[in-house]
Structure 1
Amino acid sequence: MDKTTSTLLIDFADPASIGLWQAIGDRVMGGLSSGTLLPDASGGAVFCGSVSLANGGGFASVRCQPGQRDLSAYDGLRLGVRGDGRPYKLSLLIDAGFDGILYQGSFTAAPGEWQSIDLPFAAFVARRRGRTLAAAPALDPANVHGFGLMTDGRLPGPFRLELRALSAYSGATQT
């Protein structure tokens, strides 16, 4: 029996929620990767594009900053996704600035099948500009200002991650 409770944070079937996301890729450092979040025919959204390792690049990402949220009543975040077998990161922005610390949880979504992926807050790692910050304070889920999705692993080529929902959960995780 599932003993979780969850609260929907982002419904990717809602076109208004898709419009909140902006692309941020390796072009800021001279890279050639591209990525975007688009409405998908399946009734959700798709994070898609292509990763290039040229010019020292190697990632694509999108972010939204809907404002500060207190998620301290929850144990983590749940993504409803269908992947391509590539690794990704879900980012939490803890301040309203563009270049602050991100807390990231890594996941791989199996190709071809919809699944729920639970990322406990305890598994999120502090990073800034791709570097792990060992001395950073622990993630404070009471102070989340935004969310991001990022390709992981510097794997060149096209990527596609379909999304239905992002929720906060508490209780036992789904398997």
Structure 2
Amino acid sequence: MSTDPGGTRVLFAFAGDAAAEWRAVNDGVMGGVSAGRFVITANGTLLFSGTLSLANNGGFASVRSNPRALGLATGDVLLARVRGDGREYSLNLYTDRPRTAFSYRAAIPTSKGEWVEVRVPLDRFVATSFGRVVADAGPVNPAEVNAIGFMLADKTAGPFEIEVEWISVARAAP
């Protein structure tokens, strides 16, 4: 992880052995048949693609980093440069909370074929479990976040593709 003078720190850049830091998790864990996989491209991006299926009460595909300390703090803003297919994905934050399928989510729209930089303040993430809001979970505690991911669960069957150039964090002004 590196920090530039402007206070932005790269959390994930995709080159070399970056694939070892990531894994796909799809609705097969609950009987679904969606297929999502990722590769690190020759251009140094993470390409997550596949087919979303609603069969067997499924309907999600995701890719996430393996757990590690991310060093997030209150007021931080997550940034990611992505090129999508026009579908709405979610940027997910994971913690070690003992609740099944728990994550904090924020919607990130994409423009088909266009690179965009998404900016999501930590206070915009909503606690979820199995895609439903968990009202009593409280806001995300930045110190507990140990993984980041992207998920598609828009209830639209068919092919999908999102490419990620980098994920960074910007510190709030003191």
Q: TM-score, normalised by structure 1?
A: 0.87
* Counterpart for residue 71 of structure 2: 70
Task: Confirm or deny that 1:87 pairs with 2:84.
Answer: no
Distance verdict in 2 for CA 1:100–1:59, change over 3 Å? closer
Give the Cα–Cα distance (whole angstroms) in 1 for the partners of residues 99 and 9 of structure 2.
Answer: 26
Deviation at 1:100, TM superposition (A): 5.5
CA contact (8 A) 1:25 1:59 kept: yes
Deviation at 1:158, TM superposition (A): 0.5
* Counterpart for residue 160 of structure 1: 161
Give the Cα–Cα distance (whole angstroms) in 1 for the partners of residues 97 and 19 of structure 2.
Answer: 19
Instruction: Please list, as runs of the form range in 1=range in 2, the aligned pairs for 1:2-151 lying within 5 A after superposition.
Output: 5-12=7-14, 14-72=15-73, 74-95=75-96, 99=100, 101-151=102-152
Give the Cα–Cα distance (whole angstroms) in 1 for the partners of residues 74 and 81 of structure 2.
Answer: 20
* Counterpart for residue 3 of structure 2: none
**What secondary structure does 1:117 align onto?**
strand
Give the Cα–Cα distance (whole angstroms) in 2 for the partners of residues 77 and 9 of structure 1.
Answer: 9
Give the Cα–Cα distance (whole angstroms) in 1 for the partners of residues 75 and 17 of structure 2.
Answer: 25
Distance verdict in 2 for CA 1:171–1:128, change over 3 Å? same
Provide the identity percentage. 38
**What secondary structure does 2:17 align onto?**
helix
**What secondary structure does 2:137 align onto?**
coil
User: Number of matched residues?
Assistant: 168
Give the Cα–Cα distance (whole angstroms) in 2 for the partners of residues 64 and 96 of structure 1.
Answer: 16
Distance verdict in 2 for CA 1:39–1:25, change over 3 Å? same
Give the Cα–Cα distance (whole angstroms) in 2 for the partners of residues 10 and 145 of structure 1.
Answer: 13
**What secondary structure does 2:73 align onto?**
coil
Deviation digits for residues 88-121 of structure 1 (CA, Å, limit 9, x no counterpart): 0111112177946311111011111111100111
Identify unmatched segments of 5+ residues in structure 1: none
Deviation at 1:43, TM superposition (A): 2.8
Distance verdict in 2 for CA 1:87–1:25, change over 3 Å? same
Distance verdict in 2 for CA 1:35–1:15, change over 3 Å? farther
Identify unmatched segments of 5+ residues in structure 2: 1-5
